[in-house]
Structure 1
């Protein structure tokens, strides 16, 4: 966690330097392209700050009022970052299409130099976050870090497009190349962002995780645990990319003792843990005192 926060702080500082440089040189060179890229980079600074705040809150322990802790802050930050990125990409594509028909003349030398610096810093920032993204358990991605990573990858691609466009403009005075490259990169990032947006939305809506099949889970419980007659009110949901919860009511045979029920619960923990479910709450019942389904 400390390593994650240090990486985010470094990346935030680097991107703030990019934003300030692009605004200053964009105004000096009368380059709308650099100023537009600075606005996009500034949005990434905001998203990185959100990611940092989420990383801090993810480490906080549960309290009397926040009994689950702040685990869902990861999904909330990932959803906000991805949603803003989708909106930014749409605006960039619209602006790029307009510039295909109405190209603007810019000072290509400043665009090439500053754009290249922005590309290098964004690429390095994305690389650092990418290393952290893959250093954790491969089965569980930190959606918060992945969303920030995609933001930086987006900026690197767009900055590279600005550089290439600046070179072509400098050599051939062909101004429509810059928006064309931006459109191509934007479409790629848009495709990569939508799955993150969908996954974080489903976590916030407490849907069943993608890799979990409720019918299969019910069969595992009934077939592998003697003494269980029926299972109902079964719920499986995620609080974060690493925390999957299950709650269920199980109807026991009338002969099952408390000690035997403890053994059943221990066995369920082992079986369900193999499916990625690491938090389990089981309510035992008998036919006589079976609670009705809540949902």
Structure 2
């Protein structure tokens, strides 16, 4: 089955969960169901991003969009995460209020809806996980699907927690367990969301990607004895998988320029360990700039 079809099925199934959980959550006065719906909605957006990534992989850069559409995934992730943080804080506030002023929860709806959500999430995760487990081609779209698979797997776990909470309320009548579960789920969502919004923000600000130190990269380039200096070095990412570098390297003698292609190949190879896969180097000679454009 094609990636696009699998993702489409997962998107539709999870959107159905979101709508049902919000409607039934409001009717049953369950903050846990509503929190689960928010988390499921986040994953629907993540699945849509993964779907878009599969579509846009085939698109080549154009005269106007010279970098293609790589950054659209990061922008969507940032906006989605920002709205999600706001929603989670509102849920936590409401849940805290309900701890002190408990509302009777219709536990049977909690159990049934949580069970349905668990089955659908588990099936969606299996659908994407089956592909991942039987395809050893580690292309970019496969990484997207793997991320979507892990999100759905965590959703299945949260939905199972909703069922457990419903069972506790049904047998023991402890209604305050519902907002407590909601707060616990919200804290988990915050834990998962904050790194995403931080990473996407840093990419949008074109900062040096996490795990890469500019000084280390500079030292790797300077290992070549013919290079005496590196300046105007910039390292940034367009997406989580596309890391760019531009720099000026200075040669001791003008005669060294004839070896530029060989040196450039060596630099590209040595920088792969940092994940840098797009490199632009401008050569110069000590004392004056090289007039040749490479």
Shorter-normalised TM-score: what interval? 0.7 to 0.9
Give, in angstroms, the shift of residue 206 of structure 1. Answer: 1.0
Output aligned runs, 1:1-295, within 5 Å.
Answer: 3-22=2-21, 25=24, 30-33=27-30, 36=34, 40=38, 41-42=40-41, 44-126=43-125, 146=147, 152=152, 155-223=155-223, 225-290=224-289
Rounded to whole Å, the distance in 2 between the matches of 1:211 and 1:143 is 21
Rounded to whole Å, the distance in 2 between the matches of 1:130 and 1:90 is 32
More deviation, 161-170/275-284: 161-170
Unaligned runs of 5+ in 2: none
In structure 2, the CA distance between the partners of 1:290 and 1:269, relative to structure 1 (3 Å rule), is same
Given that residues 18 and 38 in structure 1 are in contact (C-alpha distance below 8 angstroms), is that contact kept between their aligned partners in structure 2?
no
- String of CA shifts for 1:58-92, please: whole Å, max 9, x gaps: 44211111111111222223323333332332222
In structure 2, the CA distance between the partners of 1:8 and 1:86, relative to structure 1 (3 Å rule), is farther
With normalisation by structure 2, the TM-score equals: 0.82
Describe the SS at the equivalent of 2:222: helix
Give, in angstroms, the shift of residue 18 of structure 1. Answer: 1.8
With normalisation by structure 1, the TM-score equals: 0.81
Rounded to whole Å, the distance in 2 between the matches of 1:241 and 1:39 is 27
- String of CA shifts for 1:5-31, please: whole Å, max 9, x gaps: 33321211111222344456557xx31
In structure 2, the CA distance between the partners of 1:191 and 1:16, relative to structure 1 (3 Å rule), is closer
In structure 2, the CA distance between the partners of 1:37 and 1:79, relative to structure 1 (3 Å rule), is same
Give, in angstroms, the shift of residue 245 of structure 1. Answer: 1.0
Rounded to whole Å, the distance in 1 between the matches of 2:144 and 2:206 is 15
Structure 1 vs Structure 2 CA RMSD: 3.3
Given that residues 250 and 283 in structure 2 are in contact (C-alpha distance below 8 angstroms), is that contact kept between their aligned partners in structure 1?
yes
**Equivalences, count:** 286
Unaligned runs of 5+ in 1: none
In structure 2, the CA distance between the partners of 1:202 and 1:4, relative to structure 1 (3 Å rule), is farther
